């Protein structure tokens, strides 16, 4: 009887060769915890390897084919910006209001109660501008657009549309991935700015309704004084990085691996989980940058 | 003294092991030696799962042989990359299910290859697309998405999409599958016209390779035939050779379907 370890060894070269984690996922469940741990580790390594390669390929295609087929690609990019940005504005208006009322407004009144309104600016910049704004935007776009990406691309892959593109001499990464990467990156960047502005404004409105003794001039002056050039630069970099990697993770799971139609739903769940993990890891990297600088 | 002229093959497979898209390490056909010359019309027949689609995908450069070589217009498909795009575009492939892009309408599907490859706007390709849709009787369905089309029109739209770039070699994966009598009666003479020289190609003949799971509809003295059976590719030659073949696999492909006998 073949042991689990030998079956894994047998499939290992194939899995690395294809960058295909499905080989492991479809294998029989391991019987011991150490085998399970090993399997999870291999899967994590394969995923990192696959995502890294896919990100580099996509970056290469973006740079190399920037001017290729512009008449086809520009409308596609506009469509993706609309889908990952403009179409989400009403939802983000609501989220900004909620964030302002729930977090900013309460923080302002709490600080006012203890006479610590001097710390308002730096608190708002750390909580809203640096952390909550970008991360919340990224997670919401991942949920709304990222899942749709995996399902669309996974279905296209399972129905053979990718091979059809290749047969027509159209690079699937250029045609399917590049517009999504640009759309999601610019979408998250713009939505984060709207979310931050909306949350700060609605937060003040909430505080004003609670009769907190703070004029709008003082409030926005404090925030403006707490911001420095690094906040603007890192906010732009962070949101674009969130967008790039969310698009890469969701497109990778939808497109880069051979799928069957029945795999699409489970792959969508996995992509969202990995998308959240990637966002949190990126956020940690940016926290380190803030701390160092 | 007679001089023999060397005609370069359009497709040349030497000792090729044909793999599948699902598992590129598994050979569905072994030791394929096949040469398609310009202007030939080949019909490759085999039972379902015999490797017909994989053979066509290999000939189109979408799959690499696990062993041996495959050359298309003299260019090794292993080397097919951006630099060889011009060679790749000389080959048109029509998939069995059409594999149209479901998000696009029929007219957008047909226009896409031309717009992408030549960086043209919708208005600039409108005339060519219109002519092609008219030719394939697809004009009434131009604004429908593939999911709202019957299978026969989907396969015609896929044929239109492959023809828009005017390929010199047209590969058709089981084009008669699922077609009714009227559609078959339209498609076979149309393919014949393409092969002999259609006005769309300025009267120039093209090379055709079609796969089939029933040979009877393809009977024609000028066509060449091959059979796939038990991982083997066997080139039979002309129709007379098909009729004379005693192999069980060939007889099966010529036999009446069970439903017709009952």
- Per-residue pLDDT tens digits for B43-83: 999 998 899 999 999 999 888 899 999 999 988 887 677 77
Min Cα distance B193 → chain A (Å) is: 23
Contacts of A75 (CB under 8 A, 6+ apart): none
pLDDT value for B71 = 92
pTM greater than 0.95: no
Per DSSP, what are the bridge partners of residue B35?
B12
Q: For residues A185 and A247, is the Cβ–Cβ distance under 8 A? A: yes
Q: Cα separations (Å) of A115 from A110, A125, A207, B39?
A: 9, 19, 14, 90
Min Cα distance B94 → chain A (Å) is: 9
Q: For residues B78 and B69, is the Cβ–Cβ distance under 8 A? A: yes
**Which ipTM was obtained for this model?**
0.88
How do residues A1-21 score in pLDDT, each as one tens digit? 344 444 444 444 444 444 556
| CA distance linking residue B150 with residue B163, whole number of Å | 20
pLDDT value for A160 = 87
Give the count of alpha carbons within 13 A of B110, CB side only. Answer: 32
Supply A7's token pair: 């079956």
pLDDT value for A10 = 43
How do residues A253-269 score in pLDDT, each as one tens digit? 888 766 677 778 888 88
Question: In A, which residues are within 8 Å of B58 by CB distance?
Answer: none
The angle, 0 to 180 degrees and rounded to 10, between the axes of the packed helices A178-209 and A89-99 is 40
Q: State which residues of chain A have pLDDT below 70.
A: 1-27, 257-259
Residue of A164, A176, A262 to mutate, interface with B, max B Cβ within 10 Å? A164
pLDDT value for A291 = 86
Q: Cα separations (Å) of A46 from A42, A50, A269?
A: 6, 6, 18
| CA distance linking residue B185 with residue B216, whole number of Å | 13
| CA distance linking residue B80 with residue B59, whole number of Å | 12
Query: Which of these, B171, B198, B178, B232, lies nearest to B42 by C-alpha position?
Result: B171
Helix (H) or strand (E) holding B134: helix B122-135
| CA distance linking residue B24 with residue B80, whole number of Å | 17
Query: Which of these, B44, B72, B46, lies nearest to B58 by C-alpha position?
Result: B72
List phi, psi (to 5°) of A288: -60, -45
Cβ separation B161–A168 shorter than 8 A? yes
Q: Confirm or reject contact between A170 and chain B (CB < 8 A).
A: yes
pLDDT value for A11 = 44
Q: Confirm or reject contact between A37 and chain B (CB < 8 A).
A: no
Helix (H) or strand (E) holding B75: strand B75-76
List phi, psi (to 5°) of B18: -90, 130
């Amino acid at each position: 009887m073949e042991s689990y370890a030998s079956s894994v060894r047998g499939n290992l070269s194939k899995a690395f060769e294809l960058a295909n984690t499905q080989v492991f996922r479809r294998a029989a469940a391991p019987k011991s915890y150490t085998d399970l741990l090993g399997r999870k580790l291999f899967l994590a390594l394969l995923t990192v390897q696959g995502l890294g390669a896919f990100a580099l390929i996509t970056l290469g295609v973006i740079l190399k084919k920037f001017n290729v087929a512009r008449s086809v690609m520009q409308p596609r990019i506009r469509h993706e910006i609309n889908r990952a940005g403009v179409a989400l504005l009403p939802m983000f208006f609501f989220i900004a209001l909620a964030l302002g009322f729930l977090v900013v407004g309460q923080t302002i009144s709490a600080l006012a109660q203890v006479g610590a309104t001097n710390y308002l600016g730096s608190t708002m910049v750390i909580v809203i501008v640096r952390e909550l704004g970008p991360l919340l935007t990224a997670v919401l776009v991942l949920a709304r657009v990222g899942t749709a990406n995996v399902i669309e691309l996974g279905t296209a892959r399972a129905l053979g549309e990718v091979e059809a593109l290749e047969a027509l001499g159209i690079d699937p990464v250029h045609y399917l991935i590049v517009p999504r990467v640009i759309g999601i990156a610019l979408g998250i960047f713009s939505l984060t700015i709207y979310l931050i502005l909306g949350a700060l404004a609605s937060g003040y409105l909430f505080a004003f309704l609670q009769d907190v003794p703070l004029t709008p001039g003082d409030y926005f002056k404090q925030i403006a004084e707490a911001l420095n050039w690094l906040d603007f630069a890192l906010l732009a970099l962070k949101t674009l990085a969130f967008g790039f990697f969310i698009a890469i993770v969701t497109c990778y799971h939808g497109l880069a691996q051979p799928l069957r139609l029945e795999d699409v739903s489970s792959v969508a769940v996995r992509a969202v989980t990995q998308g959240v993990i990637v966002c949190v890891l990126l956020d940690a990297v940016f926290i380190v940058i803030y701390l160092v600088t | 003294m007679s001089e023999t002229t060397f005609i370069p093959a359009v497709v040349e497979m030497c000792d090729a092991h044909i793999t599948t898209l699902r598992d590129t390490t598994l050979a569905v056909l072994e030791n394929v030696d096949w040469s398609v010359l310009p202007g030939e019309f080949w019909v490759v027949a085999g039972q379902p799962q015999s490797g017909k689609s994989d053979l066509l995908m290999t000939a189109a450069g979408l799959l690499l042989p696990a062993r041996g070589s495959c050359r298309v217009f003299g260019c090794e498909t292993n080397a097919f990359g951006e630099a060889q795009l011009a060679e790749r575009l000389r080959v048109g492939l029509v998939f069995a299910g059409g594999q149209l892009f479901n998000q696009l309408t029929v007219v957008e599907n047909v226009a896409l290859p031309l717009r992408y490859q030549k960086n043209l706007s919708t208005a600039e390709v409108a005339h060519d697309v219109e002519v092609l849709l008219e030719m394939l009787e697809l004009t009434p369905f131009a604004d429908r998405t593939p999911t709202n089309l019957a299978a026969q029109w989907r396969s015609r739209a896929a044929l239109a999409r492959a023809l828009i770039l005017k390929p010199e070699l047209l590969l058709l994966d089981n084009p008669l599958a699922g077609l009714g009598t009227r559609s078959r009666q339209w498609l076979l003479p149309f393919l014949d016209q393409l092969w002999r020289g259609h006005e769309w190609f300025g009267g120039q003949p093209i090379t055709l390779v079609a796969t089939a799971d029933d040979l009877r509809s393809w009977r024609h003295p000028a066509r060449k035939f091959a059979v796939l059976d038990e991982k083997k590719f066997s080139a039979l030659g002309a129709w007379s050779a098909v009729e004379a073949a005693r192999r069980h696999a060939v007889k099966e492909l010529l036999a009446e379907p069970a439903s017709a006998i009952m």
